[in-house]
Amino acid sequence: MAADEPSYTLLEKSGDFELRIYDPMIIAETLVSGEMDSASNQGFRLIAGYIFGKNSSRTGEAQKISMTTPVTMQAAPEKINMTSPVTTERVGERWRIHFVMPSEYSMETLPIPDNPAVTLREVPATHYAVLRFSGLVGEKKRAVKIAELQQWLAKKNISPTGSPELARYDPPWTLPFLRRNEILIQYQGR
């Protein structure tokens, strides 16, 4: 589905758990409401529209952008202050869905989204604790995996600084046992 993934440095690995530091990146994101599955589909379509040509380049023409992985979703509060850490609890049924933009782009070279529901944002280098797993992911499995990662962090005396994110790497036609999924939780680097 995609060739490009965000770059990171692996700091520690213990089975399916990892500590990583991601390089700075640019994301295209949107906020959607609803149950997890329907919100994921709606958010995906909005951002896919942007990368498949619903945009205006600096020269005024639409531009296609290569698909990247993963597609990430995060429960979002009703209001998001982009200059502060995202709160650690979900309020209602709002989700932030984002794609990482290919690394060859900068904010100056990315086309502008035609849909005002899609925004671009620079993300600085960020530390994440990660739990990798396979299979289908519904709300129940997401909650179980979040709890597993939080327990692992607690054992390591690492305090989360962001709310959990679900990252999906494979297209829907991938067999469940071959699907790559991750739960990511931001933490303060040591």
Domains parsed from the chain with CATH numbers: 8-186 (3.20.80.10)
Residue 90 phi/psi, 5-degree rounding, is -90, 140
Rounded Cα gap, residues 165 and 71, in angstroms? 10
164, exposed or middle or buried, with CB in 10 Å at 0-12, 13-18, 19+?
buried
Q: How far is CA 44 from the centre of its chain?
A: 11
**Eight-class DSSP state of 68:** B
pLDDT tens for each residue of 162-190: 999 999 998 888 999 999 999 999 999 77
Give the model's pLDDT for residue 1. 46
Rounded Cα gap, residues 7 and 103, in angstroms? 9
Instruction: Give the CA count within 13 Å in the CB-facing half-sphere of 96.
Output: 24
Average pLDDT, the chain: 88
**Which residues of the chain carry a pLDDT beneath 70?**
1-3, 77-92
Q: Which residues, including other chains, have CB under 8 Å from residue 26's CB and lie 6 or more apart? A: 100, 101, 105, 106, 107, 110, 120, 121, 122, 123
pTM equals 0.85
